[in-house]
Amino acid sequence: MKYYLVAGERSGDLHGANLMKGIKANDPEAQFRGWGGDMMQEEGIDLVTHYRDTAFMGFLEVAMNIRKIAGFLKKCKKDILAYKPDVIVLIDYPGFNLRIAAFGKAQGFKTFYYISPKVWAWNQKRALKIKKNVDRMFVIFPFEIDFYKKFDYHVDYVGNPLMDAIEAFGPDADFKKKNNLNETQPVIALLPGSRRQEIINMLDLMLTVQPHFPDYQFVIAGVRNLPASLYENYEALKNVSVVYEATYDLLAVSEAALVTSGTATLETALLNIPEVVCYKTSGFSYAVAKRLIRVPFISLVNLIMEKEVVRELIQDELNETELVAELASILKTGSKRATQLKDYTKLHALVGGSGASERTGGLMVRYLKAND
């Protein structure tokens, strides 16, 4: 069968690649075309557009790029019509993918959605549009089952695909040596994100803590889909390094981490590394988000646990004083470290084990064959 996948972010590329493996295990003749990144390309997708060109963050940035986004939508729709897939598989990325879902429904294509938009966080009535336009929704958080029940919409809970990547991960024993890191000095990891705007917004703020912790080396998790020039100024700083495309290995050797809000906050917790969650955007985007968001936390860790497990420093709270205090509290001598690690054990139990990608791929193939 022919599958048209649409992923518009780095995390979607990871989950899309693992989903492709799950589909191929149940449909050896599967053909893939769509939008994604390097990992999906390695799994054999005929890549139309790379996510590096489509990842826009925040209300203001989206508004400023509205014509470009409209052009991408037109390109995607045209390509779907030409490819004529058996199913359109949408992976997260709601601003774009909900429009493609409506288009797919109108054109008579079978439409599946993997990793639900966070409609439970804001504008919950979008669930009605999902019910109208999406044939099957595959969710990764248990509480999403009950959320969609309120709209009389049955969804498939498949578990969290992050566990597929995490349980398959094996730390590189020579990681420090290979990356010219001090092998005896403890590490604090900085995960500023994978978008240009995140790097610009977050890294300067994160590194204000560096002079306060002279006994530590700070290592930035860099990504290759962004220009190396974004990181060059930071590499010149004392006790600061950049490693590329090796976030899990970096976390494995770290005592603690400062992490930009997003999927990485959950990955860090599931790898048992104490963290502080950081988030800052434009004043306009923040003001809009504050009016719309209906959940008490922004990090997946706290949302799943339904309490503050990791400290979230948002907007004005993300400053040198708060960062230094919170980072100190989760280092080995810190007052919050033991409690956070204990909560991580409960988090693991709630998230569950691996196999989400295999389960989802199997269900998708089964649903498609049932309609043949």
Cα separation, 228 vs 264, whole angstroms: 21
Q: Do residues 150 and 75 share a domain?
A: yes
How would residue 306 be classed by pLDDT, with cut points 50, 70 and 90?
confident
Cα separation, 35 vs 28, whole angstroms: 21
* pTM confidence score: 0.80
How would residue 197 be classed by pLDDT, with cut points 50, 70 and 90?
confident
| Res. 64: pLDDT tops 70 | no
Pairing of strands 136-139, 156-157: parallel
Query: Starting at the edge strand that comes first in sequence, how are the strands of the sheet with 254-260 ordered?
Result: 240-244, 217-222, 187-191, 254-260, 275-279, 311-314
Q: Do residues 55 and 201 share a domain?
A: no
Residues 38-58: pLDDT tens digits?
999 999 999 999 998 766 555
pLDDT at 293: 56
pLDDT at 91: 96
**Contact in structure between 202 and 280 (CB atoms under 8 Å):** yes
Buried b (16+ CB within 10 A) or exposed e, 172-188: eeebbeebebeeeeebb
Q: Do residues 291 and 365 share a domain?
A: no
| Res. 289: pLDDT tops 60 | no
| Res. 119: pLDDT tops 60 | yes
| Res. 160: pLDDT tops 50 | yes
| Res. 298: pLDDT tops 80 | no
pLDDT at 143: 84
Q: Do residues 91 and 136 share a domain?
A: yes
Q: What's the average model confidence in pLDDT over 13-20?
A: 94
Q: Do residues 178 and 307 share a domain?
A: yes
DSSP letter, residue 79:
H
Pick the more confident residue, 125 or 357.
357
How would residue 286 be classed by pLDDT, with cut points 50, 70 and 90?
very low
Q: Do residues 303 and 180 share a domain?
A: yes
pLDDT at 282: 54
CATH number reported for the structural domain that contains residue 148 in this entry: 3.40.50.2000
Backbone angles phi, psi at 49, to 5 degrees: -145, 135
Residues 28-37: pLDDT tens digits?
999 999 999 9
Q: Do residues 33 and 112 share a domain?
A: yes
Q: Do residues 114 and 94 share a domain?
A: yes
- Percent of the chain residues topping a pLDDT of 70: 91
Query: Helix or strand or coil: residue 159?
Result: coil
Q: Do residues 29 and 110 share a domain?
A: yes
pLDDT at 55: 62
pLDDT at 366: 97
Q: Do residues 214 and 145 share a domain?
A: no
Q: Do residues 177 and 119 share a domain?
A: no
Q: What's the average model confidence in pLDDT over 218-235?
A: 90
pLDDT at 283: 56
pLDDT at 66: 66
What's the total number of domains in the chain?
2
Residues 86-118: pLDDT tens digits?
999 999 988 899 999 999 999 999 999 999 988
Q: Which domain holds residue 243?
A: 170-351
Mean pLDDT of the chain: 90
Instruction: Collect all residues with Cβ–Cβ distance below 8 Å to 88 and sequence separation of at least 6.
Output: 4, 6, 80, 100, 101, 104, 109, 110, 111, 112
Query: Which of 48, 46, 35, 44 minimizes the C-alpha distance to 9?
Result: 35
Q: Do residues 323 and 180 share a domain?
A: yes
Q: What's the average model confidence in pLDDT over 257-282?
A: 91
DSSP letter, residue 245:
S
